[in-house]
């Protein structure tokens, strides 16, 4: 029983750190005049905490909406030439 208690303590501390550091939050900015897309996200603490991507709009290949019908959840992705898909939203539940 003490093993499960210790594991639960580590998992709860990980989740509390994720919530307090706002991991995954950020913004997306699409500037049509200059043709630039900026994606900013916060990560875990350390030297790579800030994730900042600056892309040209002409490099965007497609926007993908992935829907899982059995659980009514969708995610919005932006596919970049040569870099793959970048998630723009978290999982959103469809009412």
Model confidence over 47-93: pLDDT tens digits? 888 989 898 999 889 988 888 777 778 888 899 888 888 888 776 66
Domain containing 21 equals: 2-93
Q: What is the pLDDT of residue 13?
A: 94
What confidence category does residue 94 fall into, taking pLDDT thresholds of 50, 70 and 90?
A: low
Distance CA 73, CA 25 (A): 19
36 and 18 Cβ atoms separated by less than 8 Å: no
- What is the DSSP-derived secondary structure letter of residue 35? T
Q: Among positive and negative, which fits the CA dihedral 29, 33, 35, 36?
A: negative
Tally of domains in the chain: 1
∠ at Cα 90 (85, 93), nearest 5°?
Answer: 125
pTM above the 0.85 mark? Answer: no
Computed over every residue of the chain, the mean pLDDT equals: 87
Dihedral angle computed from the Cα positions of residues 51, 56, 61 and 64, in that order, rounded to the nearest 10 degrees: 40
């Amino acid at each position: 029983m003490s093993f499960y208690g210790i594991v639960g303590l580590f998992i709860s501390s990980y989740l509390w750190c994720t919530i307090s550091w706002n991991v995954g939050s950020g913004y997306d900015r699409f500037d049509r005049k200059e043709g630039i897309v900026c994606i900013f996200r916060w990560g875990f603490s350390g030297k790579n905490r800030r994730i900042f991507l600056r892309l040209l709009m002409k490099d965007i290949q497609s926007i993908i909406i992935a829907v899982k019908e059995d659980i009514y959840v969708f995610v919005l992705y932006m596919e970049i030439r040569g870099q793959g898909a970048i998630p723009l939203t978290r999982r959103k539940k469809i009412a």
